[in-house]
């Protein structure tokens, strides 16, 4: 309902006016006989679909596979050279956009699939990075013990040298 009083009055008048009633459409509609169109082929359905190659809904997932393949190629790199924040971003982006692909219209299964795999690759890389960092902490305690033993040995040798 509008806040303007004149539009409310006009709407009320139009509802109650017997002269403003419209004639149903089926009275003036002419029937035209047409030949049945053949069903489109599978490729034609794909070409003209709402997520077909004429739309961004097709090309976005196709190009996003490059990001997934880049993440997969990072499995060959050592975990020490990977970025935790970057892979956390890939993991969360994949999870969020996978869900979003099922909410938007038209529902884009191809984009959901690529985002799912992006999240899986990010999750695997984050796991690799965290395991590497944990191994450094565990190994660091052993190294600290060995360094302190080495320092004590050097001190004792140094005392012996100075004493002689």
Least reliable range by pLDDT among 18-32, 54-68, 144-158: 18-32
How many Å from the N-terminal Cα to the C-terminal Cα in the chain? 105
- Classify residue 124: in a domain, yes or no: yes
The pLDDT of 52-60, averaged and rounded, is 82
pLDDT tens per residue, range 22-41: 655 555 566 666 666 777 77
The pLDDT of 128-154, averaged and rounded, is 76
- Classify residue 41: in a domain, yes or no: no
Predicted structure pTM score:
0.59
Q: Please report which confidence band the pLDDT of residue 163 belongs to, taking 50, 70 and 90 as the band edges.
A: confident
- Classify residue 23: in a domain, yes or no: no
- Classify residue 151: in a domain, yes or no: yes
Kindly report the backbone phi and psi dihedral angles of residue 80, in degrees, each rounded to the nearest multiple of 5, phi listed first: -70, -20
- Classify residue 127: in a domain, yes or no: yes
- Classify residue 135: in a domain, yes or no: yes
What's residue 18's pLDDT? 59
- Classify residue 29: in a domain, yes or no: no
Expressed as residue numbers, the domain containing 134 is 56-163
- Classify residue 44: in a domain, yes or no: no
Q: What domain count does the chain have? A: 1
């Amino acid at each position: 309902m509008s806040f303007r009083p004149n539009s409310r009055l006009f709407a009320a008048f139009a509802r109650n006016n017997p002269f403003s009633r419209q004639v149903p459409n089926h009275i003036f509609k002419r029937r035209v006989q047409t030949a049945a169109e053949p069903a489109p082929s599978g490729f034609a359905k794909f070409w003209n679909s709402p997520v077909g190659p004429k739309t961004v809904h097709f090309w976005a997932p196709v190009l996003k596979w490059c990001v997934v393949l880049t993440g997969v190629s990072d499995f060959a790199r050592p975990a020490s050279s990977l970025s935790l924040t970057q892979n956390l971003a890939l993991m969360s982006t994949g999870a969020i956009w996978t869900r979003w692909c099922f909410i938007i219209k038209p529902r884009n299964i191809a984009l959901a699939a690529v985002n799912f795999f992006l999240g899986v690759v990010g999750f695997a890389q984050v796991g690799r990075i965290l395991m590497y960092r944990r191994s450094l902490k565990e190994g660091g305690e052993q190294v600290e013990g060995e360094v302190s033993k080495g320092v004590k040995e050097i001190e004792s040798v140094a005392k012996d040298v100075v004493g002689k």
